[in-house]
Structure 1
Amino acid sequence: MTPAAVDRPVRIGVQLHPQHATYPQIRDAVSRAEDLGVDVLFNWDHFFPLYGDSDGAHFECWTMLAAWAEQTSRVQIGALVSCNSYRNPDLLADMARTVDHISDGRLILGIGSGWFERDYTEYGYEFGTAGSRLDDLAEALPRIEARYAALNPAPTRTIPTLIGGGGEKKTLKLVAKHGDIWHSFADPEVLKHKLTVLQGHCDVVGRDMSEIEVSVGVGGMGREGRSPDAPEVEGAPLYDLGARLFTMGVGGPDYDLEVVKPWLAWRDQLNASTSTG
């Protein structure tokens, strides 16, 4: 378990896939998820569906987040994750600051280096290589932080940065330097190893690893774990290693949130037990 993870509450996230649905259906899913008590609502940053009909209905990430910021009142919101390649880093910082204000301080800036080649090809971005995209992300993160400091008005608070990915040489080094949340889809064996690597990077840069929330993808669309006891089966080993944010994907057009309910109950049980000692 990561240091001090025991003091961090469990949170449940839902990624609403912004595809194969009308916007009213997405808006309804946002309302239902917030009413259920979900802690974080994510979308994703792509221009085409990732599964199903590759030319099916799809909506853009950041304009949607601004709408969610106005629609909701409690849940945190963000992209899982925003692609660094698609926007100038200073512009992205300004967009994040704006959504942060619209939401009264509920935005998480999820960011990654990008991977979906069709987005790049059809929208005219240079795809490069995995290494070059990670190098671009390394250059962008300090620019985003510097732009926050220059904006008027400033963000409402220090906007938390979620970095997605598990690359040990570059990505986890960026997490150690810039991340408030690290997200992966690692199973327990892999997560244990990656946390050791992340601890090493934190040691090098002088970062207290307990400052970084460990986030994992679980259950939900395209993954195992739909049974009522899924949190105990899938989540418990990850929790024991220090994971505290558990996010599942839900697809349209119906956005069935039944899979989320046992995870919310599990969250409440764990948080109640830790708060009472």
Structure 2
Amino acid sequence: MPHTLRPSFGIMTAPSQVDYRDILRVWREADTIPAIEHAWLFDHLMPIGGDPDGPTYEGWTLLSALAAHTRRLRLGVLVTSNRFRPPAMLAKIATTVDIVSGGRLDFGIGVGSRPGHPLARREYAAHGLPFHDSAHAVGSLAEACTVIRRLWTEEEPFDFHGTHHHLTGAFGNPKPVQRPHPPILIGGRSAATLRVVAEHADLWNIPGGDIDDVVRRSALLDRYCAEIGRDPASITRSIFLPVSYDRPGVTQDAIGDATDAGFRHIVLGLPAPYPADVARWVTDELISMSL
């Protein structure tokens, strides 16, 4: 059923195969355009496309730098790999970015790289990081969301002894600017991940492509919310859509399909290299045409 609420639009600049100054240019331009409400990076340590030996920046470090160079955009990582950082450390990192940005962080997190993607899988071995099976990774994500929220909100130290994470005397200080905490966006499409979304997320993101599958996944999330007594409408539906500079009509159609399906949070992935004035182009050719 089509929804009447106006969607919010953002951009995603993958911090790979590009120069820092190129990303900074795009974000600074976007920060001046009210129609672009949010901006995102991804979380990989090595390229997952293009030259496998090309440059890739660490997402949270770069996000903090971009937070300091912008004033209005909401910002985040789409999405943080829960496999890369212990949850208490990630909570501290995210709090720092929320403070640097003046309370503009949207906290994106997910299970981590798809096991079947060889270029995504290699970054774990290359950095000495374990790569557990999907059941382990989903369970770890659920516990991480619990730990992170508690660190952001609780005023006394606590112990946590889960299946995957164990903390003694855990305490977060300072707290994030946003209260009770930054919005939590969880990305993913598997049924197991959607159960975590139903329990913990304020926003849910899924990659676009097969809109029929996206709709089915959204309906499954509705069902999981109902099972635990949560209003499905309390979770904003977010979708990532790749941008075609040469064929904007294709992207316009994808935006229309997504908004008709109830997705109100649209993230437009900008391929590099970025044309001059790309944020203005996105606004004129994609966002304005979709409102």
- Whether TM-score is above 0.5 comes out as yes
2:11 to 14, 21, 34: 14
Query: Paired residue for 1:65, among 63, 82, 91?
Result: 63
Q: Does 1:188 align with 2:211?
A: yes
Cα deviation, residue 152, structure 1: 2.8
Structure 2 CA distance, aligned partners of 1:240 and 1:254? 29
The AA in structure 2 aligned to 1:26 is I
The superposition leaves residues 118-167 of structure 1 with CA deviations (integer Å, 9 ceiling, x where unpaired) of 12111111111122211211111101111112433321222111111111
2:263 to 234, 237, 243: 243
- Counterpart pick for 1:174 among 196, 220, 243: 196
Give the distance between the partners of 2:4 and 2:202, measured in 1 at CA: 17
Q: Select 1:254's aligned residue among 263, 269, 274.
A: 274
Aligned partners of 1:22 and 1:253 also within 8 Å: no
Q: In the superposition, relative to structure 1, how do residues 140 and 203 fare at CA in structure 2: closer, same or farther (>3 Å)?
A: same
The alignment partner of 1:229 has SS state of: helix
- Whole-angstrom CA distance in 1 between matches of 2:248 and 2:198: 35
Distance between the aligned counterparts of 2:32 and 2:247, measured in 1? 22
Query: Paired residue for 2:26?
Result: 29
Match of 1:155 among 167, 173, 176: 176
Q: What TM-score results when the alignment is normalised by the length of structure 2?
A: 0.83
Q: Which residue of 1 aligns with 2:126?
A: 122
CA deviation profile, 1:25-83 (whole Å, cap 9, x unmatched): 22112112223331111011111111111111111111111111111000111001111
Of the structure 1 ranges 88-97 and 149-158, higher mean CA displacement relative to structure 2 is found in 149-158
Write the distance in 1 (CA, Å) between the matches of 2:251 and 2:44.
29
TM-score (norm. length: structure 1): 0.87
Give the Cα separation in 2 of the matches to 1:113 and 1:255.
Answer: 32
How far, CA to CA, are the matches of 1:71 and 1:41 in structure 2?
13
Number of equivalences: 261
Counterpart Cα distance in 2 of 1:78 and 1:183: 12
Q: 1:21, CA displacement in angstroms? A: 2.0
Aligned to 1:272: none
- C-alpha separation between the residues in 1 aligned to 2:248 and 2:48? 27
- Does the Cα contact within 8 Å between 1:69 and 1:102 map onto a contact in 2? yes
**8 Å CA contact 2:242, 2:270 repeated in 1:** no
Residues 183/60 of structure 1: CA separation in 2 closer, same or farther (3 Å cut): same
SS in 2 for 1:86: coil
- Kept in 2, the 8 Å contact 1:184–1:215? The answer is yes
Asked if the contact 1:39–1:75 (Cα under 8 Å) also holds between the matched residues in 2, the reply is: yes
* Alpha carbons 1:219, 1:226 under 8 Å: kept: no
**SS, match of residue 252 in structure 1:** coil
- 1:48 alignment counterpart: 46
> Which residue does the alignment assign to 2:92?
94
Q: CA–CA distance in 1 between the matches of 2:123 and 2:10?
A: 25
- Between stretches 228-237 and 31-40, larger displacement belongs to 228-237
Please give the secondary structure, in 2, of the residue aligned with 1:162.
Answer: strand
Whole-angstrom CA distance in 2 between matches of 1:66 and 1:225: 28
Matched, 1:219 2:242: yes
SS in 1 for 2:32: helix
Instruction: Tell whether the 8 Å contact from 1:162 to 1:183 is kept in structure 2 after alignment.
Output: yes
Aligned-partner SS, 1:216: strand
Amino acid at match of 1:156: V
Mean Cα deviation higher: 47-56 or 249-258: 249-258
- The equivalent of 1:74 in structure 2 is 72
Deviation of the 1:263 alpha carbon: 2.3
- Identity across the alignment (%): 31
Hey, which of these two has a bigger chunk of helix by percent? Answer: 1
CA contact (8 A) 1:226 1:259 kept: no
Q: Residue type matched to 2:260 in 1?
A: D
Output the aligned Cα RMSD: 1.9
Extract unaligned runs of 5+ from structure 1.
270-277
> How far is 1:260 from its partner?
5.2
- The offset of 1:232, in angstroms, is 4.5
In structure 2, the gaps of 5 or more residues are 114-119, 155-171
SS at match of 1:217: strand
